[in-house]
C-alpha cells in the first residue's frame, strides 16, 4: 500500500442496491451434488450444500470498477484487499432491452459476458438483476410517474409488442452464456425485485397483485419457452413493509420460485433499523482506518452514490474527522419531506409505508435523515443532483445541502434521472459532470 496519508472510503450503491440475497429456501436434495443434473439443478444443489459451510460474500460489479479505477481488466477491489475474489458477483442487465452496448452502470455487455463465464469457471456464483427502462413513459426503472405501466405491457396492452422485443433481447443475452464446450451455465436471476416498495414501475402501488403475478409469469414463461432452463429463479422483495399474508399476496408460487431472497434497507425503529447497523459499521471502518500509521491525521474522503451517498452524508455528520464527501444523487435525505408536501428522499418511508404511525416514524427518521445529520459537519461537499430524479429528488438533496456548513460544489444535471444518462446524453454528461467529478477527487488525493 502506498503511504498517501489519506483515508478514502468508497460507498457505491447504485439503483438502491441491488442488495445480495442469501439463499433461504431451496428445494433440492442436500446430501450430494449430482454430476448428471442440469446446470440449474447443480447450482441449486450446490447452494444447498454451501449453506452448511458458511456465508458467501458477494460484490456488485466487482471486476468492472472500484476505488480509484474503472474498466481495467484483471482488477478487483475485493481481491486486492482480501487476496481472493468474492464468491458471488452481482451484475445488472438494465439496458439490454434497448439494444445498448453498455448496461445502465456503463458496463459493456460483451465484457460482462466474459466475466460471468470466467467467474463461473473458477467456481463462483453470478446473480443477475434487471432494471429495464419504463416502456410506457420512456423513463428509467425508477420512473413511477404512471401507474399503468405493468398493465400496458401485458398481453393486449399498448406496449406489449415493445416489451416482447425487450424480452427477446434479454433472452438472447442469457442464451449466450455458454462455457468453452458450448454448454449453458447457470446463473441466479432475480427479476421484479423489491416489488413491495413503490420506487420501481412494477412496485406495490404501481400495479395490482394480479398484474404483478401476470408480469412475473409472462417473463418466466417466455424465457422458458425460449429454451432457457439454466436460470435459478429468485423472488426478492424488500424485507420491510410486509407480514406473511402480504408476502404471499405477490409470491409467484413454489412452482415458479427456486430461492427466496430479501433486500434489506429499513425498519420502523431507531434501535433495530437496518441503517443503524450500516452507520455503526461505517463508523467502525473509519475508526479502524484512522488507527493505521499511514493516515496523515487530517484527511478522510468519503465517496458515495445513491444509498452510498446517504452513507457518505451520515459519515460526515457522525464523525467530525471526515474532511470531504463526494456525493452522487444521494439517498436518505429529507426523509420527512412528505409532511410538508415534498417528495421525501429514498426510501420514501412516509409514502411507501402508510401502515406506519407518525409516532413510529418520529422515533426513527431523525436518527437517519441526512438533512439532520449533516448539520454537525464542516466537511467539504462535492455533489451531483439529477433534476428529474424521482428516487432521490433534488428538493430532498437540497434540504441537506442547505444545512451543510462546509464548502460546497453543487452540479445540477437538468436531464439526469436517478440512473446515469444514456444514449446521446451520455457523452455530454461524461464531459460536463463525470470528468469534473473525477478531477475533483484526483486533486483532493494529491
Cell of 21: 440475497
Is 2 a member of any domain? no
Q: Note the Cα 359 to chain centre separation in Å.
A: 30
CB-CB contact of 109 with 102 (8 Å): yes
Is 4 a member of any domain? no
Whether residues 289 and 180 fall in one domain: no
Whether residues 123 and 55 fall in one domain: yes
Provide the pLDDT for residue 367.
Answer: 83
Is 267 a member of any domain? no
CB atoms within 10 A of CB 178: 14
Is 167 a member of any domain? yes
Q: Is the dihedral of CA 284, 285, 291, 297 positive or negative?
A: negative
Whether residues 217 and 128 fall in one domain: yes
Which residue from 10, 13, 42 is spatially nearest to 26, judged by alpha carbons? 42
Cell of 11: 460507498
CB atoms within 10 A of CB 302: 28
Whether residues 222 and 364 fall in one domain: no
Is 187 a member of any domain? yes
Residue 54: asked if its preceding bond is cis (omega within 30°), the reply is no
Q: What's the domain count of the chain?
A: 2
Q: For the purposes of burial, counting CB atoms within 10 Å of the CB of 364, is it exposed (0-12), middle (13-18) or buried (19 or more)?
A: buried
Q: Is the dihedral of CA 394, 437, 305, 357 positive or negative?
A: negative
Which residue from 1, 43, 3, 5 is spatially nearest to 23, judged by alpha carbons? 43
Which residue has 420491510 as its cell numbers?
240
Specify the DSSP element, H or E, that contains 70. Answer: strand 69-70
Whether residues 49 and 80 fall in one domain: yes
CA angle (133 as vertex; 260, 426 as ends), nearest 5: 125
Which residue has 463462483 as its cell numbers?
124
Interatomic CA distance for residues 154 and 266, integer angstroms = 32
Whether residues 225 and 290 fall in one domain: no
Provide the pLDDT for residue 3.
Answer: 37
Show Cβ contacts of residue 210 under 8 Å, excluding neighbours closer than 6 positions.
Answer: none
| C-alpha separations of 66 from 78, 124, 208, 273 in Å | 9, 19, 39, 28
pLDDT mean for each 10 residues of the chain (446 residues): 49 39 40 62 89 86 87 90 91 95 92 96 94 94 92 96 97 95 94 89 93 97 94 87 76 92 63 74 90 91 94 94 96 91 89 76 84 93 96 95 95 94 92 95 90
CB-CB contact of 396 with 337 (8 Å): yes
Is 353 a member of any domain? yes
CB atoms within 10 A of CB 26: 18
- Domain of 416? 279-445
Whether residues 102 and 250 fall in one domain: yes
Last residue of a domain, one of 229, 260, 291: 260
CB atoms within 10 A of CB 293: 6
CB atoms within 10 A of CB 191: 23
Interatomic CA distance for residues 233 and 186, integer angstroms = 10
> In the Cβ-directed half-sphere of 134, how many Cα atoms lie within 13 Å?
23
Provide the pLDDT for residue 129.
Answer: 95
What's the distance, Cα to Cα, between the start and end of the chain in Å?
16
Is 72 a member of any domain? yes
Whether residues 298 and 436 fall in one domain: yes
Whether residues 167 and 314 fall in one domain: no
Cell of 76: 478487483
Whether residues 239 and 288 fall in one domain: no
Whether residues 89 and 232 fall in one domain: yes
- CATH code, domain carrying 238: 3.20.20.80
Specify the DSSP element, H or E, that contains 395. Answer: helix 394-403
- CATH code, domain carrying 311: 3.40.50.1820
- Across-strand partners of 410? 383
Last residue of a domain, one of 230, 260, 290: 260
Specify the DSSP element, H or E, that contains 413. Answer: strand 408-413
CB-CB contact of 54 with 63 (8 Å): no
CA angle (409 as vertex; 406, 411 as ends), nearest 5: 145
Residue 91, helix vs strand vs coil:
strand
Query: Which 8-state DSSP code applies to residue 298?
Result: S
Interatomic CA distance for residues 201 and 191, integer angstroms = 13
Amino acid at each position: 500500500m502506498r503511504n498517501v496519508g489519506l483515508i478514502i472510503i468508497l460507498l457505491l450503491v447504485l439503483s438502491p442496491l441491488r442488495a445480495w440475497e442469501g439463499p433461504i429456501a431451496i428445494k433440492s436434495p442436500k446430501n450430494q451434488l449430482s454430476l448428471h443434473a442440469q446446470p440449474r439443478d447443480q447450482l441449486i444443489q450446490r447452494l444447498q450444500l454451501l449453506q452448511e459451510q458458511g456465508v458467501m460474500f458477494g460484490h456488485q460489479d466487482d471486476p468492472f470498477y472500484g476505488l480509484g479505477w474503472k474498466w481495467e481488466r484483471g482488477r478487483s477491489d475485493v481481491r486486492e484487499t482480501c487476496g481472493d475474489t468474492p464468491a458471488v458477483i452481482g451484475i445488472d442487465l438494465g439496458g439490454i432491452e434497448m439494444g445498448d452496448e453498455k448496461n445502465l452502470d456503463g458496463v459493456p455487455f460483451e465484457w460482462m459476458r466474459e466475466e460471468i463465464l470466467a467467474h463461473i469457471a473458477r467456481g463462483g456464483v453470478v446473480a443477475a438483476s434487471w432494471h429495464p427502462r419504463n416502456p410506457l413513459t420512456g423513463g428509467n426503472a425508477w420512473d413511477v410517474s404512471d401507474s399503468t405501466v405493468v398493465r400496458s405491457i401485458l398481453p393486449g396492452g399498448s406496449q406489449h409488442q415493445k416489451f416482447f422485443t425487450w424480452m427477446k433481447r434479454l433472452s438472447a443475452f442469457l442464451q449466450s452464456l455458454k462455457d468453452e464446450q458450448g454448454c449453458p451455465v447457470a446463473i441466479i436471476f432475480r427479476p421484479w425485485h423489491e416489488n413491495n416498495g413503490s420506487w420501481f414501475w412494477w412496485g406495490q402501488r404501481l400495479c395490482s397483485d394480479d398484474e404483478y403475478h401476470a408480469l412475473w409469469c409472462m417473463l418466466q414463461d417466455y424465457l422458458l419457452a425460449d429454451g432457457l432452463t439454466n436460470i435459478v429463479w429468485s423472488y426478492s422483495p424488500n424485507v420491510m413493509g410486509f407480514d406473511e399474508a402480504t408476502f404471499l399476496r405477490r409470491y409467484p408460487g413454489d412452482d415458479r420460485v427456486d430461492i427466496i431472497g430479501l433486500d434489506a434497507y429499513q425498519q420502523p425503529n431507531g434501535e433495530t433499523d437496518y441503517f443503524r447497523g450500516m452507520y455503526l459499521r461505517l463508523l467502525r471502518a473509519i475508526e479502524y482506518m484512522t488507527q493505521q500509521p499511514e493516515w496523515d491525521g487530517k484527511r478522510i474522503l468519503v465517496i458515495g452514490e445513491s444509498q452510498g451517498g446517504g452513507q457518505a452524508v451520515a459519515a460526515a455528520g457522525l464523525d467530525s474527522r471526515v474532511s470531504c464527501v463526494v456525493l452522487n444523487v444521494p439517498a436518505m435525505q429529507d426523509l420527512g419531506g412528505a409532511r410538508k408536501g415534498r417528495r421525501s428522499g429514498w426510501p420514501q418511508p412516509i409514502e411507501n409505508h402508510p401502515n406506519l404511525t407518525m409516532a413510529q416514524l418520529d422515533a426513527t427518521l431523525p436518527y437517519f435523515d441526512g438533512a439532520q445529520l449533516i448539520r454537525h459537519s464542516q466537511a467539504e461537499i462535492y455533489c451531483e443532483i439529477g433534476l428529474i430524479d424521482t428516487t432521490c429528488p433534488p428538493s430532498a438533496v437540497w434540504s441537506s445541502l442547505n444545512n451543510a456548513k462546509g464548502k460546497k460544489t453543487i452540479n445540477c444535471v437538468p436531464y439526469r434521472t436517478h440512473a446515469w444518462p444514456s444514449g446521446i446524453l451520455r457523452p455530454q454528461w461524461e464531459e460536463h459532470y463525470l470528468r469534473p467529478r473525477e478531477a475533483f477527487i484526483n486533486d483532493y488525493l494529491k
